[in-house]
Amino acid sequence: MFFVWGKRQAKGALTFFIYLTAQALWVTGFIFEMLSKDIQTKILWDKLEWICTVIVLITIPVFIIQYTEYKLPSYKKIFAASFIIPLVFIALILTDPLHHLIYQNVRLLPPHPFSELTYDITPTVSVFAFYSFLVTLWSFSLLAIKIVRPHGFYRKQVWMIILGLAFPALGSGLAILNIQISTERDPAPLTFFIGSLLTAWGLFRYRTFDVAPVGRDRVFEAIVDPVVILDKHNRVIDINTSMLALLDKSSKEVIGETAADVFTDSPIPIKMYVNVSYARAETSFKIGNKEIFYEMTVWPIHDTNSKMIGRIYICHDITAMKELEGALRKLNSELESRVHARTRELAEAYEVTLEGLARALELRDKETEGHSRRVTEMALKIAQKVGVNKQELEDIRRGSILHDIGKISIPDEILHKAGKLTPEERLIIEQHPETAYKLLSKIPFLSKAIEIPYCHHEKWDGTGYPRKLKGNDIPVSARIFAVADVWDALSFDRPYNKAWPREQIIEYFKEQTGKHFDPYILKTFLAMVEKGEI
């Protein structure tokens, strides 16, 4: 109980604490009932046991709903209604001397070693027992659904919860049916003990309130992109709030309806892709005077037998990306039209553009201000040292300026996050070289410079990203820039990391020879550091 109380902020923990408290009070009442001598005192303690049983009955479905995050329609009304029968039964228990609907033919069995209270099971008790059975069965059915979780750890959690709750329920049922499994009339103490052992084992072995699964429904609703799921008959079986907002409809209007009916007037062509397993398509539409672009991806959903049972449609807003691509294409076209007449002006305009893009990135990410300028200068020094020719130096300069252009697609809450990134956030971060490639690959004068934005996160041993290139497969410019980039990143404070001492950085670089960095380039660089050229 104390352990559960310490975890009371966890999902369902407070309700489970009330459940355990009611069990403890029931056992206390049972002990005092057995120790009492006269029949009236035993009835008094028996009433306490009944009240505790009712509390247990109330807490079981509440806990299971909280743990499974089951969506209960009109939950407030149903929750209030669920108290009616238990409260009426408690009232009948407390007022039994007036009507005797609970206690009839009350008597004491011969002591062995304690005299035991017994009485006939009345129709009222039978009705309440049947109600209790239905509530418990429904509650356990919710848990049983969760046994099919894809992660074995959570399945074991659910099994321990089911067993821990089932034994006390079984004991109460046996008592009402007057079935004895020991010399005592009431087997509940034994079943409560077994249930408590199983519960304790589940709490400590499977950390029930420490490692609780996030409900898939909650994750589904948290997805910012519009998402809809169709079954194999192309009926809508689930849809998130983003898609509903795009359709300007409620879930009641679309759940169970066919895609052809729901998406008749939709700007996203889902109804055109209901007979395919995989697809990727782009579409655009206008809202007011603004053109909106979406990329739709279709994926199949399979059951445990690998049979397709539906499809999921994910629509990603790529308007910002399209606007940026359009702006870059427009700029490129305008500059190319003047290339023969004003070569010098064109070159200057390109340089201003590059510096502006780099400056825009730095303004977005204040913590890395000055980073592009520093790494550009350092990369050029290293390149000159290893014998790169003049034209390649210019490509390295341009690529260095734009090395983080792909981060323009990373949300601010991830880009500026001070703590450790989650695996999902890390995956988003690692997509920025691909974004850079999409943005810059259409610009001819950056055809070589793009090697740095696209490949500067590759590692010599092949463990980098995005393409896991290895050794000499990595462009020389990217290998040179990787050294400069990491050196600068470790030398200055970042939101997620304080600057390292110079000696510590040097030791780290030595450790990364042949792992992260090209051995020859790193050897040249460390020689420059030793001479004070860096």
What pTM did the predictor assign?
A: 0.40
C-alpha to C-alpha distance for 324 and 497, rounded to whole angstroms = 31
pLDDT in tens, 284-328: 888 778 888 888 899 898 877 788 888 899 988 888 888 888 888
Report if residue 211 sits inside a domain.
no
Beta strand pairing call for 290-302 and 107-109: unpaired
Q: What residues pair up with 280 in beta bridges, in sequence order?
A: 297
The answer to whether the beta carbons of residues 410 and 432 sit under 8 Å apart is yes
Q: What is the pLDDT of residues 149-178, one digit of tens each?
A: 544 455 666 666 667 667 666 666 656 655
> What does the alpha-carbon distance between residue 512 and residue 437 come to, in Å, rounded to a whole number?
27
Q: Which of 298, 294, 273, 271 is CA-nearest to residue 283?
A: 294
Domain annotation covers residue 287: yes
**Are 62 and 160 found together in one domain?**
yes
Neighbour-count burial of 362, counting CB atoms closer than 10 A to its CB (0-12 exposed, 13-18 middle, 19+ buried): middle
Both 309 and 366 in one domain: the answer is no
Q: How far apart are CA 303 and CA 286, in angstroms?
A: 38
pLDDT (0 to 100) of residue 213: 47
- Contact partners, residue 198, CB within 8 Å, separation at least 6: 160, 163, 164, 167
Q: b/e for 246-277, b at 16 or more Cβ within 10 A?
A: bbeeeeeebeeebbeebbeebebebeebbeee
Tell me the C-alpha distance between 306 and 304, whole Å: 5
Asked if 376 and 361 count as a contact pair (C-beta separation under 8 A), the reply is: no
CATH number at residue 425: 1.10.3210.10
CB 375 within 8 A of CB 492: no
Widest pairwise Cα distance in the chain: 116
| One domain for residues 153 and 62 | yes
Which residues form the domain of 290? 216-317
**Residue 471 DSSP symbol:** G
**304 with 416, same domain?**
no
How far is CA 519 from each of CA 211, 226, 397, 480, 525, rounded to the nearest angstrom? 44, 47, 22, 11, 10
Q: Is residue 294 part of a domain?
A: yes
Helix (H, G, I), strand (E, B) or coil at 495: coil
Of 68-82, 162-176, 226-240, 513-527, the range with the highest mean pLDDT is: 513-527
Are residues 234 and 196 located together in one domain of the fold?
no
**Most confident stretch, 7-21, 172-186, 404-418, 516-530:** 516-530
Look at residue 158 in the predicted model and tell me its pLDDT: 67
Domain count, the chain: 3
Q: Do 175 and 33 share a domain, yes or no?
A: yes
Which segments of 206-308 does DSSP mark as H helices, in order? 216-222, 241-247, 251-254, 259-262
Q: Which residue did the predictor score with more confidence, 52 or 158?
A: 52
The candidate with the shortest Cα–Cα distance to 174, out of 162, 187, 163, is 187
Residue 373: which H helix or E strand, with range?
Answer: helix 371-385
Residues 192 and 226 in one domain: no
Among the candidates 267, 302, 317, a domain finishes at 317
- 229 three-state secondary structure: strand
pLDDT band at 219 (very low <50, low <70, confident <90, very high): low
Same domain, 232 and 107: no
Q: Has residue 216 got a pLDDT over 60? A: no
Residue 150 and residue 31 in one domain? yes
